[in-house]
Structures are given as C-alpha cells and as structure tokens.
Amino acid sequence: MKKKYLYIVVSAALLSFSSCSDFLDRYPLEELSDGSFWKTPKDAEMAVSDLYAALPGMDVDGDINSDNAVHGIKWAAGNVSKGVYDPADTDWAGNYSVIRQANLIFEKIDLIPNYPQEDKNKVLGQAHFFRAYEYFDLTRTFGDVPYIDKTLTLADQQNITRTPKDEVYTKMMADFDKAIDYLPIEWSAAEYGRITKGAARAMKARAALYYGKWEVAASESKAVMDQGTYELFDKDNTGLYAELFWEKQEAAKENILVQQYSYPNKTHYMIGWECFPSLGWGGINPTQSLVDAFEDIEGAPISQSTIYDSTKPFAKRDPRLEVSVLHSGEVMYGVTIKTAPLKSSGVTGVGQHNDATATGYYQQKWLDPSIDPQTDGWNMGKDLVAIRYAEVLLTYAEAKNEIAALDASAFDAVNKVRKRVGMPELQKTNAALPTYCGTQDALRQRIRNEWRVEFALEGGKRQWDIRRWGIAKQVLNAPFEGMKYKLVDSPDADPKDNGKICIYYQGEPLKLTGSRYEDHNYLYPVPQSERDLNPKLTQNPGYN
C-alpha cells in the first residue's frame, strides 16, 4: 500500500525563479517581489518543495556508461556509452538552477515574520541538502566547478571561475551537516517523501565514499544503521527479494530516499524504456560481463566454481541474477523469451528489429507482473529509489575494510546484504570454502562485486564506482560481449529457419561495439556552451 504522497505544488510565478538558463541563471530572473512573496511559512515550503524535482532517481541509461550494459534501442545510446566525451554534450545549467533556488531560500526566509524556528529549520535543512547534493554531482562529474553561495547579478557572473574541488567538498560537507542537524528522523505520513536526517547522512556517506574519506563514510553510514529506522526488505530471506522493485513494495523500510511518482498525476517510463519483453524491445541489455559477476550458490565466483555449468549458466547461481537479467526460456507477460537470431524466435530475438536485444539478455528488475507494459508501461507510478539501506551497509563495509583490514564489522555489514538473498557469508577463518577472504584486497574485491550485483542496472552506480576504484580503463577497454550461441543443422528445425536450430550458451559470444576510456575521462569535459559565454572557465585536461 502506498503511503500518502507529498504532492509538490508550484505556482507559475514560483517556477519563474527556478527555471534553468544557460549558466548559473545568467539573466536576472522575474522573481516575485519581497512584498508579495516570502510573507508566510507556506511560501518557504512551496519554494523548497520545488527543489524535489531535482532528486536523483534510477538513471535508466546510467549502466550503459559502464561495463554492465549496452543500449538495445540503438538510436538512444549516448556518446559517453561509446567512449566519446564531447564538451558540446555536457551541461550543468540544471545543477546551478537548483543551487540558485536553494541560495534564494537562504537569503529570503528571514523576511517571513513569526516563523517558528523548528519549522524554519526543516525548510533550511532541505535546502542545505539539495545544495550539497548538487555540488557533489558537479564535482564528481567535472572536478573543479564554480562555487556559488548567493544569488548573482549579471555583473557577478562575468567574473565566475572554477573553485578547487577540495574546497567545494569541504563546503558541501558543511551543507550536509546542516541538513543532518536541522532535519527530522521522520516526517508525518502526510509529508512522506521529504528529506530525512537518515537520507542526508546516507548521501553524505555516498559523497565521502566517492572521495575515499573512509572515516566519514563509515561514521555516517553507521549513524544511519544505529538510527534503527531502516532495514533490508525481506531481511530473513523468505524469497521475496524480487518484490523490492515492484509497485507493491515502494514504501518498504529499505527505501531511504525516493523520487516520488503517482499514476496518473506524475508518471515515468521505467518499464517501457528498460524493457518491453513481449515486443523484444528494451533499452538496457546486460552484458555477459555482468551476468558472469554473479557467484554460484556456494559463494564462489564462476571462474572458480565446481558446480557452475556454462551450458546452464542461470542454474545454481546467486538469486539476484534471475531478478536482474531476463534471458531465453523465461516467460514474461505471457510470452516465452527466445533470444536466438532465428525467424521463429519472433520479435524477442537478437537482430529481429533495430530495438531488439544486442546481448541476448534484457533487464528484468522493474518488470512488475502486476503492470502490463503494453498498456500501462508508459504510465508507471512507482517511486524511483535514490538511496536504499543496502547501499548504507555496503558503504560501511567498504569503508571499514579500508580503515582496518578484514574488520569484523565489515564482514557483518556485507553479509547482511548477502544473507537476505540466501548467499553464504564471506569469512576469514576457513580457507577451504569459496567464501574465504584472507587479505584486505580479497575482501575489497568481494565487496566491490557485491556493489555490482546488488545494484545491477540500478541507478547508474557502476559508472561512478569504476571511476573511484580506478578500474574504468581496464573494464571499459575490454571486449564487450553478449551470450554465447551456435546455429546447427537439424531435421527438427522450424521451416522458417532454413534447417537451423539454436543451441544456447555454446559456441561464440555475441561481439559488441563496447566503449573506450582514457585516463582523462575520469572527469567529464566542462560544458562548451558555458566556456563560450564565459572565457574565464578553464577546460579539464585532455579536452579541447
């Protein structure tokens, strides 16, 4: 059952001062006068509610910028997924629009008379969160960026330069701290969806983890854990893990921060964009590399497994593989998926049409059986989850292992995530078992793999993880492949297939175009449109 939604109501006049422009809201905005707005607490609440459109959600295309997936809808694949980093493609106007509105709230809120301090702090806490998040997104993308903490005049904007990212990091962490201080642990049911203290801590931990600030990441994630507000969905492993990604569980206690949707008032196209399996149409096609990342049920990587059968690659595997990847032989929405490149396979096969799977696999996580994608898929009202509790546990596990090798609490945290899907615990006492981690690096690699499989095709986390771990060059320049198959002559072949049948998971893998990565691609290029307007903005090394 959905909780009551926070409906974000924004007047046309309010939108006028939150709209995007080319750079840092370059042109003076048509703001409401101080005499007509900023009169009551409701005005401040409207202003901060408008910021919620900027909440991060599940980036449906994020994983194609990593080694996890390619785009089956060929025309929609962006340049970055192909290894092309063009300054003409990047943009930061949206980030600075949010920052400007947060700054406006800080500047105007004290104009409201008789505003109870507790209520005012809640608005300020939300504004601090959004400003911090936007600077985190900017710095991990571009490195040094202009730091703006006030609304600017046109004259001010002519002198803007880039601020060192370490300085921006310090200031955004101060904003997160203010948010943590001001925000409540929980809101009323009528205000479900607003930023909480736990969400601010979790996002601060994410930012700290990205920059290798292990102590901060560990302490903030531990504070969320100790808060007792959140827990893993199906933590006792009753076999319901798949439901976490369905409409019926969107208010699960695992979800810490969500981008709210409510059909038919506000919808998104998660199913339609990710996979229309009965039509063989889907944007996100898992690579063989991602499929191979899931361990066998004994906890062994398949390269070391004694029970893995490459001709039956989905048998005896981590249950999260079946939740994440749709493959040949499965029945979905009444259609048996047949990804062979044969005419009898129907529209679900490789090469059947331009939007068919490129890898032989489709994404499966959000294929909610209660929603028919051919009728409702383009109007999905499920909340998009920006942070869930599993991320907090893995953040803590990674940070604690980096602080102290093979720390017991690191094992405990990562094993909670594994246990809820029935995967055996990682351990450091029995070298005869495939779950043995006897060195800091062994546990580090297993935690990194846990990030990959737990958040597979979810939120685009992988593209940022491979950067912060320094492995982007290795994995993005490696060959991209899909499933293996071979066509053989058979008297039992369908007449449509010229005497051929497909034997799955044998033969040669599908060869994909893949991506490419150079060292300077750790940062994206500064938007060319901004540099054209402001010559004082320098470009990142390696770009023209």
Mean per-residue pLDDT for 313-337?
Answer: 94
Which of 363, 360, 335 lies closest to 349 in space, CA to CA? Answer: 360
pLDDT of residue 499 exceeding 90, the answer is yes
pLDDT of residue 376: 65
| pLDDT band per the 50, 70, 90 thresholds, residue 86 | very high
Q: DSSP secondary-structure letter at 239?
A: S
295-304 pLDDT, tens digit each: 999 999 999 9
Q: Element (H or E) spanning 482, and its range?
A: strand 481-489
pLDDT digits (tens, 9 = 90+) for 194-225: 999 999 999 999 999 999 999 999 999 999 99
Q: What is the pTM of this model?
A: 0.94
pLDDT at 378: 66
Q: Is the pLDDT of residue 7 over 70?
A: no
pLDDT over 90 (residue 76): no
pLDDT in tens, 253-275: 999 999 998 888 888 877 777 77
Measured CA to CA, the distance from residue 524 to residue 522 in angstroms comes to 7
Residue 426 neighbours by CB under 8 Å, 6+ apart:
299, 411, 414, 415, 418, 435, 437, 443, 446
Per-residue model confidence (pLDDT) at position 318: 98
Pick the residue with more confidence: 331 or 22?
A: 331
**What does the longest C-alpha to C-alpha distance in the chain come to?**
85
- Confidence (pLDDT) at 98: 97
At 357-410, the pLDDT tens digits run: 999 999 999 888 888 766 666 677 888 899 999 999 999 999 999 999 999 999
Dump pLDDT digits (tens) for 134-177.
Answer: 999 999 999 999 999 999 987 788 889 999 999 999 999 999 99
Q: Which residues of 295-307 are buried (b: 16+ CB within 10 A; e: fewer)?
A: bbbebbbbeebee
Q: What's the mean per-residue pLDDT of the chain?
A: 91
Q: Where are the domains of the chain?
A: 270-382+480-511
Q: What is the pLDDT of residue 326?
A: 95
d(CA 394, CA 465): 12
Which pLDDT belongs to residue 24? 39
> What is the mean pLDDT of the segment spanning 82-109?
97
> Is the N-terminal amide bond of 491 cis, ω within 30° of 0?
no
Task: Compute the distance between CA of residue 277 and CA of residue 340 in angstroms, rounded to an integer.
Answer: 14
Query: What band does 32 get if pLDDT is binned at 50, 70 and 90?
Result: low
